[in-house]
Amino acid sequence: MQIPINEDDVFLIIDVQSDFCPGGALAVADGDAVVPIVNRLADRFQHVVLTQDWHPLRHSSFATSHLGSAPFDTISMPYGQQTLWPDHCVQGTSGAGFHPQLATERAELVIRKGFRPEIDSYSAFYENDRRTPTGLAGYLRERGLQRIFLAGLATDFCVYYSAVDARRLGFAAVLIEAGCRAIGLAGSLDAAWAGMAAAGVQRIGDLA
């Protein structure tokens, strides 16, 4: 789809990290296929921001932190329902690093999320309590950036939450589907598409 890119647009690349790619601890099917697409898209923008999942050991969202639980179980946390994950993106490990072919040189900001042991963080803007900010919104506003294009991993979790929060905060949001891949838990992708549509997120296949 042909959309002119403006000086006040920003490309937000979500969690293109080794643990979310084939061979990683929480691999998204075909996740590494987004890397050349994201690199190509980034060349179109003056402003690029990355997010990076950055968990301490024994993070509360890890199934191994809850006796008798298994990955992808759901438990109640003080902030609501939480999916439990395999240990992934542990601070300082190779799995937490960006995919080695991801072009990161032009990134103006890297937002690390999920570093608080007691709470997970899907969105680039808020922890999963939906109240604790990452600071990204303030950064974008101070820079005068108004429209956010999103791609990365995974469509049905971190990309989805980030896009909906962008709209909740008053930014225009455009999801580039070619640059995303989904985890695909039961019903998660359908719920993500519905939630993004309801929030007013624009969904395009690619940038022409």
Query: Which residues are known catalytic residues?
Result: 15, 113, 158
Q: What is the DSSP secondary-structure string of 81-95?
A: EEE-B-S-SBTTSGG
Neighbours of 43 (CB within 10 A): 10
Characterize 155-175 residue by residue with b for buried, 16 or more Cβ atoms within 10 angstroms of its Cβ, and e for exposed: bbbbbbbbbbbbbbbebebbb
For residue 27, whether the previous peptide bond is cis, meaning omega lies within 30 degrees of 0, is no
In sequence order, which residues have a C-beta less than 8 Å from that of residue 40 and are 6 or more positions away?
A: none
What is the separation of C-alpha 10 from the centre of its chain, rounded to a whole number of angstroms? 15
Contact 111, 52 (CB under 8 A): yes
